[in-house]
């Protein structure tokens, strides 16, 4: 499963990151906060949370609004 990382600039295209890479980083560091792009489907994000929890991690997931517009948000995931 590939997840899109949040953009640093609205004109950029989001970068893909695999679930395997996320799990490798967590194994190495132990905990990390990720920001994911709004173009990810909510279903994929819930799949990511379920996969991390199934691997023994605790995952805190939420939508982060960064503007007043309805399309101005990103996803935040804090994995422990």
**pLDDT on residue 8:** 87
Contact between 62 and 34 under an 8 Å Cβ cutoff? The reply is no
pLDDT tens, residue by residue, 4-53: 999 888 788 989 999 999 999 999 999 999 999 999 999 999 999 999 99
pLDDT per position as a tens digit, 60-69: 999 999 889 8
Domains of the chain, by residue range, sit at: 2-8+18-79
Question: For residues 54 and 79, is the Cβ–Cβ distance under 8 A?
Answer: no
CA angle (15, 80, 65) in 5-degree steps: 50
What's the confidence (pLDDT) of residue 15? 93
Instruction: Please tell me the predicted confidence (pLDDT) of residue 51.
Output: 95
The two structure tokens encoding residue 16: 């893909």
């Amino acid at each position: 499963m590939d997840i899109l990382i949040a953009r640093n600039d609205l004109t950029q295209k989001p970068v893909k990151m695999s679930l395997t890479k996320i799990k490798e980083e967590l194994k190495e560091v132990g905990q990390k906060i990720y920001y994911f792009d709004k173009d990810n489907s909510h279903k994929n994000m819930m799949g990511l949370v379920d996969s991390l929890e199934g691997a023994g991690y605790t995952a805190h997931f939420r939508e982060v609004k960064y503007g007043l517009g309805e399309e101005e948000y990103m996803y935040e995931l804090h994995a422990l």
